[in-house]
Amino acid sequence: MSLQPKLQLTFDDWLEGERASLEGRSEYLDGEVFAMTGASVEHNAIVVNIASELRTQMKGRPCQVYANDLKVRIRPADAGKYPDLIALCGEHQFQDGRRDVLLNPSLIVEVLSDSTEAYDRGKKFAIYRQIPSLREYLLVSQHQVQVELFSRGDDGRWTLSDYSALTDSVPLPSVGCTLSLAEVYDKVDLKPA
């Protein structure tokens, strides 16, 4: 029995395919491509709520929030990802003139799903930590009021702050915003996993 070799792509090959694709999205990691699945109503509501809150607070400032379709390039990990939300203040750095692959996010938000939670907490976070500009990584549950904020200190160490009450607010100093959990979970039908 012989094993078939895995098809290895370069980041540029993957990016060309992503840009040309009319079907689904995929993520890239060190030569391998992984298909992405669709998201639930709750997942989408949370993404919209957070994006709306951040956008409102960013008005009049050189800050921007992007949802779902903007890719992030993590060069040290040879990876390309589609975070649920990306935010930054100041100058944007892009992969190329297409301006669809961001290199320098300050904040990345992932809404946890049953199928990706372990990956988002583990390997994906390890990959994201290799982005020099990243200051905050926010994990948001779609099944209960639960938000975890990982913040990078000046010494490069990551610390965790946990929020689990609708009266809580999450400070996001990297983008000069604060998220109210009541707003994050507004109109979200929380159902246990």
* Per-residue pLDDT tens digits for 111-154: 998 888 999 999 999 999 999 999 999 999 999 999 999 999 99
Q: Distance of CA 177 to CAs 40, 57, 65, 91, 163, Å?
A: 26, 6, 11, 18, 16
The count of C-alpha atoms lying within 13 angstroms of the C-alpha of 134, restricted to the half-sphere facing its C-beta, is 25
139: CB partners within 8 A, 6+ apart:
109, 110, 112, 120, 121, 147, 148, 149, 150
| pTM, two decimal places | 0.86
Q: What is d(CA 49, CA 186) in angstroms, rounded to the nearest whole number?
A: 7
- Tell me how far the alpha carbon of residue 76 is from its chain's centroid: 17
Whether 5 shows a pLDDT value over 50: the answer reads no
Q: Note whether 139 and 148 are within 8 A (CB).
A: yes
- Tell me how far the alpha carbon of residue 49 is from its chain's centroid: 15
From 35-39, 47-51, 160-164, the region with the lowest mean pLDDT: 35-39
From 37-41, 47-51, 128-132, 135-139, the region with the lowest mean pLDDT: 37-41
* Structure confidence at residue 7 (pLDDT): 59
Closest of 71, 87, 86, 88 to residue 33, by C-alpha: 71
Q: What is d(CA 107, CA 113) in angstroms, rounded to the nearest whole number?
A: 19
Average pLDDT (59-70) is: 94
